[in-house]
Amino acid sequence: MIALGWTDRASIPPEPCAALPGPAGTLVTAPARHAATSAARLRLQSACAVSCAAFLPLAPTLERSPDAAHAWATAEGHALPDRIDAVRGMAQATLLAVAPPDPAPASEATSGAAWLSLRTRVQADRARRRAAAAQALRGRAGQDISVRAWPRGLALDLVARRDILQAQMVELLAHLRQADEPALAGWRLTLAGPLPVFALSFADRAA
């Protein structure tokens, strides 16, 4: 069995998932054959988030045994029920901002030292552009939303009630696309969701 996340004692996860009550919370698991990949685990977690009144997911990128998840939850003690309650009726959507290609360098490197210097400048310029884009995203979002880095650019997570989340994110996406914001020129914006509330989960630390 693979651990997927936690729910409250009253919720019944959808098949093929099962609920395993523990001292700190009810762990939701799935047979390994149904949760063998990150994509499979995410699909199951998304179904649990819809079916359960409250569902606190583990990161889908790693397999965790029920024993390891229960051990971590026991160590956390009273904090886990509070986290489960915090995601009750909530969902997450993620706005992905894909960065444009790096501009071509003004000159070609003619030696190893020059190549290293050029690479350093390119990385510094990329960091500055991403910092400016992150600031623009936060400003346009109109609220204190965390903007995090991902390999292809930036990601902005919004957590809201499941019944209003989609409308909020569609409105935000339209607002960002219509904005005359130089720092976002060339960035490609896409919307992913609704998702389980990974942004509020501290369960990623479970071994």
Tell me what the mean pLDDT of segment 90-104 comes to: 86
Q: What is the pLDDT of residues 161-177, one digit of tens each?
A: 988 888 888 888 888 87
- Per-domain boundaries in the chain: 2-88, 91-195
Q: What is the pLDDT of residues 23-66, one digit of tens each?
A: 777 999 999 999 999 999 999 999 999 999 999 999 898 888 99
Q: Which residue type is seen at 200?
A: L
With 70 as the cut, is the pLDDT of residue 78 above it?
no
Dihedral Cα 176, 179, 182, 185, nearest 10 deg: 50
Per-residue confidence (pLDDT) for residue 146, from 0 to 100: 74
